[in-house]
Structure 1
Amino acid sequence: MGRPQVVLGVSGGIAAYKACELLRRLTESGHDVQVVPTDAALHFVGEATWAALSGRPVSTRVWDGVENVPHVRIGQHADLVVVAPATADLLARAAHGLADDLLTSTLLTARCPVVFAPAMHTEMWEHPATRENVATLRRRGAVVIEPAVGRLTGVDTGKGRLPDPDEIFQVCRRTLARGTAAPDLAGRHVVISAGGTREPLDPVRFLGNRSSGKQGYALARTAVARGARVTLVAAHTDALADPAGADVVPVGTAEELRAAVLKAAADADAVVMAAAVADFRPAAYATSKIKKSDDGAGPAPVELVRNPDVLAELSAHRARPGQVVAGFAAETDDVLANGRAKLARKGCDLLVVNEVGGGKAFGTDDNEAVVLGADGSATPVPHGPKEALADQVWDLVAARLDAGARD
């Protein structure tokens, strides 16, 4: 089996320079990349740079090498086409099927997965024309990544920034792994919680847990690659880069997580609670640091109160008919027995049960689990990357969403 053939389209936006890093990630990971910039893109990054980084000649014109019919052949031979950055103009031309340069001709002939990574000013991204063009491309099966929020050209800040190139690469990698499978979550809004909540005891101490957020972020990345609109409610995941295409809502405590999840779930098709939410919080918060006593006596007991059970609340009060709710159960003993009891108690559709402790699950890049279903099913997921578990979860969620749509 040969190296995956990737076409990297680059349109004329200031973020074109970031595509150089995406190109490097693709080539260094074993992909054969043909860069197809627009004429406007060459005003930002020159042809020589693209040729040197890709190791292949670069052209924007359908008349170059015409004997090889490049405007047809490039798209026909590709395993993936990714356009980064995709400007408002490029999205409009792609949505309307124009073929006025080599890149748009390639998009028309490609029969492989296509990923667009938009980058533009906020007003352009939010304009009804752009939103309709994006909806059209998604309806046709393309993956259009939501842009990031941050610094734009000049002094402007807002939504429209090109996501981190490494995160775009992760979307490309997951999309390639799915092959020609349709983005089965296209048109769906999914909400994911990740990380671990912290309950403050005093200005310097808190009650927390060991969750890193990696499994929740894997769920977000795989959902984006499958076409979903993703809201990621993240508790203390500062060490992780925002997944490309996900709207990230940072939270701290269990109460903050509950509020953010319930708000996002109001129009969600599915909610997956992967965060480790603290069961208890201190009954009182000390406004000053709690000091050790001079007489050597131990600390005063800390009274705890229960936090709300967000997963049970979501399950009992579905925001919309057919909404699928999934949770995670981290167990240290009697894993399956405890998992089945928790599934019944929480009332969710799916519960991902995994064993933790002793270097398992928390903070690692791999995981293994059994996904229990309210229908009595049990789907074992063998030890492997957390993205593999995430894809299995989405397979089960997608099946239930499809079944609900048929009912």
Structure 2
Amino acid sequence: MLQGKKILLGVSGSIAAYKAAILVRLLVKEGAQVKVLMTPAACDFITPLTLSTLSKNDVGVTISENGSWSNHVMLGRWADVMLIAPASVNTIAKMANGICDNLLLAVYLSATCPVLFAPAMDEDMWLHPATKANVARLLSYGHRQLPVHKGELASGLFGEGRMAEPEAIVSYLYSFFSAGNQTKPLAGKKALVSAGPTQEPIDPVRFISNHSSGKMGIALAEALAEAGAAVELVLGPTHLSTLHTGVRISRVVTAADMFDRCSELAPSADIIVMAAAVADYRPRNVADKKIKKKDEEMSLELEKTTDIARSLGAQKKNGQVLVGFSLETNNEKEYALKKLQDKNLDMVVLNSLNDAGAGFNHDTNKVTLLSRNGHEQALPLQSKQEVARNIVLAIIDLQHA
């Protein structure tokens, strides 16, 4: 979707400027043509040489570079989209009020393409009425704001103001450029995806969980949306998210929460992908106060949680496609095929923790797709986004089988 797209990236003075290097690398890898503009303040955080090397283009900082006073006009007409990321509180204020005191702002005021901006600042700045008014003005111009994230900020505080992660921005650009494409294979379909871990409380401060980050499930939700589906993502506790406009998120915590939400959404879904790492057991009794450390040993009595995939498989309607995941450490294929049959799945995605670069928290994955019709497809080690797209292609084949 980004192959050949001309993307003009504006980088302003924020600690989040370091993420511009990752963003440029991802965009170039997707086949986009990237030109970078920097404010003088941004050069204090990351060098133009770094971004020039990654983008394979000169980086613009001053209006008079290369002896041209009109480079801002040419750049403003070159791009398919202008993206300011990070957009500092100062740059947002200048954009909103038409101030033109550096090359980035001169190009912004000359741009004939759509403009997107990804704010990055401390929470107090983000919540200030002046910033809210400036953002509202930019939105009134028809620009699009990428949502800010909540997390640890440069000040050391925790709150809103973090710039969207580069992977999420790339996903947003996918949805931006794909809007209006009516030839998508899953147009008109509804998809349900579960992702991430669950947390099963022991007491008010402790819980049982696992190492799932949610990356694979989020990538699947985005790939389904790219293919045209309207996606409901039921997401366990993770700091990750998605900006894809075709994905709606329901945040849950426990296995029971995830079961309830998936059960609510499943009847209307054409495609169901259970990618979450749901706890198999939970504490039978949850303490209402913090358990104090006193004895040498402590025993927890556990009870089974509801198997969500099995429950949905038992209620599967004609025409629904149900996909499950099987993360194994031994007898991988045997266990995966057993899940395929026992849970009434149409396809199971086999993940082995014995494969380097696969499994929890990696940006890559190596899987084998096992279908009810006997088809087996082993995918090589790929980025989770590429794995997700291959899984979606297999789902499309199942729909037409």
Gaps of 5+ in 1: 11-20, 36-49, 65-69, 86-101, 108-115, 120-150
Task: Kindly state the Cα deviation for residue 345 of structure 1 after the two structures are TM-superposed.
Answer: 0.7
Aligned length: 298
What is residue 214 of structure 2 aligned with on the other side? 213
1:92-111 map, 5 Å: none
Task: Kindly state the Cα deviation for residue 372 of structure 1 after the two structures are TM-superposed.
Answer: 0.8
1:43-122 map, 5 Å: none
In 2, Cα distance between equivalents of 1:23 and 1:182: 33
Q: Is 1:336 aligned to 2:333, yes or no? A: yes
Whether the 8 Å CA contact 2:201–2:286 is kept in 1: the answer is yes
What is residue 87 of structure 2 aligned with on the other side? none
What is residue 232 of structure 1 aligned with on the other side? 233
What is residue 394 of structure 2 aligned with on the other side? 396
Secondary structure at the aligned position of 1:5 is classed as coil
Quick one: which of 299, 302, 305 aligns to 1:304? 302
What is residue 274 of structure 1 aligned with on the other side? 275
Query: Given residue 365 of structure 2, which amino acid in structure 1 is its aligned partner?
Result: N
Quick one: which of 373, 392, 397 aligns to 1:375? 373
CA-to-aligned-CA distance 1:311-358 (integer Å, 9 cap, x gap): 01111112x541111010111101001111111111111100111268
Gaps of 5+ in 2: 10-18, 37-58, 85-110, 119-128, 137-143, 148-163
Instruction: Give the 3 Å change call, closer, same or farther, for CA 185–253 of structure 1 in structure 2.
Output: same
Is the deviation greater in 165-174 or in 380-389?
Answer: 165-174
CA-to-aligned-CA distance 1:66-89 (integer Å, 9 cap, x gap): xxxx9xxx8xxx9xx56989xxxx
CA-to-aligned-CA distance 1:202-253 (integer Å, 9 cap, x gap): 1122111111111111112222322222211111111x24242221111110
What is residue 290 of structure 2 aligned with on the other side? 289
Instruction: Give the 3 Å change call, closer, same or farther, for CA 289–326 of structure 1 in structure 2.
Output: same
Instruction: Give the 3 Å change call, closer, same or farther, for CA 244–401 of structure 1 in structure 2.
Output: same
What is residue 122 of structure 1 aligned with on the other side? none
What is residue 244 of structure 2 aligned with on the other side? 244
In 2, Cα distance between equivalents of 1:263 and 1:402: 26
Instruction: Give the 3 Å change call, closer, same or farther, for CA 377–260 of structure 1 in structure 2.
Output: same
Instruction: Give the 3 Å change call, closer, same or farther, for CA 349–204 of structure 1 in structure 2.
Output: same
Task: Kindly state the Cα deviation for residue 361 of structure 1 after the two structures are TM-superposed.
Answer: 0.9
In 2, Cα distance between equivalents of 1:395 and 1:388: 11
In 1, Cα distance between equivalents of 2:198 and 2:187: 30
Instruction: Give the 3 Å change call, closer, same or farther, for CA 315–58 of structure 1 in structure 2.
Output: farther
CA-to-aligned-CA distance 1:123-149 (integer Å, 9 cap, x gap): xxxxxxxxxxxxxxxxxxxxxxxxxxx
Instruction: Give the 3 Å change call, closer, same or farther, for CA 59–259 of structure 1 in structure 2.
Output: farther
In 2, Cα distance between equivalents of 1:193 and 1:282: 22
Whether the 8 Å CA contact 2:220–2:389 is kept in 1: the answer is yes
Whether the 8 Å CA contact 2:26–2:170 is kept in 1: the answer is no
Instruction: Give the 3 Å change call, closer, same or farther, for CA 335–175 of structure 1 in structure 2.
Output: farther
1:131-170 map, 5 Å: 154=133, 162-163=146-147, 164=164, 166=166, 167-170=168-171
Secondary structure at the aligned position of 1:190 is classed as strand
Secondary structure at the aligned position of 1:266 is classed as helix
Whether the 8 Å CA contact 2:27–2:34 is kept in 1: the answer is no
TM-score, normalised via structure 2 length: 0.61
Whether the 8 Å CA contact 1:175–1:225 is kept in 2: the answer is no
- Name the Cα RMSD after superposition: 4.4
Task: Kindly state the Cα deviation for residue 279 of structure 1 after the two structures are TM-superposed.
Answer: 0.9
In 1, Cα distance between equivalents of 2:368 and 2:25: 36
What is residue 185 of structure 1 aligned with on the other side? 186
Query: Given residue 338 of structure 2, which amino acid in structure 1 is its aligned partner?
Result: A
In 2, Cα distance between equivalents of 1:323 and 1:241: 26
In 1, Cα distance between equivalents of 2:300 and 2:83: 53
Task: Kindly state the Cα deviation for residue 181 of structure 1 after the two structures are TM-superposed.
Answer: 11
CA-to-aligned-CA distance 1:269-315 (integer Å, 9 cap, x gap): 11111000111111111112223335x4x22x322111111101111
Secondary structure at the aligned position of 1:382 is classed as coil
What is residue 5 of structure 1 aligned with on the other side? 4
In 1, Cα distance between equivalents of 2:291 and 2:73: 67
Query: Given residue 242 of structure 1, which amino acid in structure 2 is its aligned partner?
Result: T
What is residue 361 of structure 1 aligned with on the other side? 359
Quick one: which of 319, 322, 325 aligns to 2:322? 325
Instruction: Give the 3 Å change call, closer, same or farther, for CA 34–275 of structure 1 in structure 2.
Output: same
In 2, Cα distance between equivalents of 1:364 and 1:253: 23
Query: Given residue 252 of structure 1, which amino acid in structure 2 is its aligned partner?
Result: V
Query: Given residue 342 of structure 2, which amino acid in structure 1 is its aligned partner?
Result: R
Secondary structure at the aligned position of 1:342 is classed as helix
In 1, Cα distance between equivalents of 2:186 and 2:81: 19
Whether the 8 Å CA contact 2:146–2:243 is kept in 1: the answer is no
Whether the 8 Å CA contact 2:6–2:81 is kept in 1: the answer is yes
Whether the 8 Å CA contact 1:24–1:53 is kept in 2: the answer is no
In 2, Cα distance between equivalents of 1:351 and 1:28: 29
Secondary structure at the aligned position of 1:202 is classed as coil
Whether the 8 Å CA contact 1:174–1:222 is kept in 2: the answer is no
Instruction: Give the 3 Å change call, closer, same or farther, for CA 261–379 of structure 1 in structure 2.
Output: same
TM-score, normalised via structure 1 length: 0.61
In 2, Cα distance between equivalents of 1:117 and 1:265: 34
Instruction: Give the 3 Å change call, closer, same or farther, for CA 187–26 of structure 1 in structure 2.
Output: farther
What is residue 13 of structure 2 aligned with on the other side? none
In 2, Cα distance between equivalents of 1:266 and 1:196: 23
Is the deviation greater in 361-370 or in 185-194?
Answer: 185-194
In 1, Cα distance between equivalents of 2:345 and 2:185: 22
Instruction: Give the 3 Å change call, closer, same or farther, for CA 4–366 of structure 1 in structure 2.
Output: closer
Query: Given residue 400 of structure 2, which amino acid in structure 1 is its aligned partner?
Result: D
Between the aligned residues of both structures, percent identity stands at 29
In 2, Cα distance between equivalents of 1:175 and 1:379: 31
